[in-house]
Amino acid sequence: MAAVDVIVDNLVTLWRIPAVRQNFHWIFLLISAVGSILKELELVPQTYFSSNRNALNVYFVKVSWGWTLLLLTPFLLLSNSSFNRSVSFLCRRLLSLAVATTIWYVCTETFFYIEDATGSCFETDGVEIINKEFITKTSCRRAGFQWQGYDISGHSFILAYSALFIIEETAPMAFLKTASLSALPRMVLNLLYVALNLIVIVWVWMFACTSVYFHDPSHKLLGTICGLLGWYLTYRVWYLKPLSPGLPPQRHPKGLKLHT
């Protein structure tokens, strides 16, 4: 496990660099803008990732919120309980998962509604409207036709939002790497932390692929902005206030004994 410890130390050091942590969110707007330009100019050649059937998209991005919760929930419980094991504290911190899931659900359902409300059913890519009875994307595609509406990029939204959510909730690791934890919790925390960072890398990479291969520029930009707003309004506004899940703990109060 020595190799994992080295990886954890390097990752913690990286995320403690102010320029990296404070400007991480801007990378999504930059990638979205540059990727959209490259797509419109057709400067990026077709690759394995230009197909939505690629393995990362099918097995990870399509269920990205599930992967995020699967890895982040045990990490949040284990890391936060090292600061405070009170039920009220842990329940309050777990509310951040419920809030994030609500944001994910409301935004994605809104995107689906907008695409249905603004779209029409076409026989092929935009030739002529087939039948007015197909008023939803689902019914249109089930009939074998093409639906064209204002398709806000759910990929741009969820990948940006998930990555920022993970980075915020893994912040306690900067302190816990020097805490006096027993062997098993330390090993589990380290493995979860490395896995979460790998997931962030996958999310950023697939966000870039979405930017250069899929959607219209405005669809990607709006999806990205929704993801950034979901993160900003919670972790930079609401969570700073008393009646909220609160920010992840990042240092122990003086004199508090660590739970091991």
Catalytic (active site) residue 252: no
What is the DSSP code string of 133-179? Answer: T--SHHHHHHTT-EEES----HHHHHHHHHHHHHHHHTTTHHHHTTS
- Say how far residue 127 (Cα) sits from the centre of its chain: 36
Known catalytic residue: 215?
yes
Please answer whether residues 184 and 23 qualify as being in contact, where contact means their C-beta atoms are separated by less than 8 angstroms.
no
Which of 25, 155, 219, 259 is the catalytic position?
A: 155
What is the residue-wise DSSP string for 33-96?
Answer: HHHHHHHHTT-SPP-GGGSTTSHHHHHTGGGHHHHHHHHHHHHHHHHHHTT---HHHHHHHHHH
Tell me which residue of 138, 160, 148 sits closest to 211, measured CA to CA: 160
Name the active-site residue from 25, 215, 219, 259: 215
Is the CB of residue 258 less than 8 Å from the CB of residue 172? no
Tokens of 252: 């122990």
Closest CA to 160 of 211, 69, 216, 224: 224
Query: Do residues 172 and 250 make contact, with C-beta atoms less than 8 angstroms apart?
Result: yes
- The bridge status of strand 120-122 relative to strand 146-148 is antiparallel
Residues 211 and 35 sit within 8 Å (Cβ to Cβ)? yes
- What is the DSSP code (8-state) at residue 216? -
Reference 172, options 46, 82, 60, 71; nearest CA is: 82
Catalytic residues: 155, 215
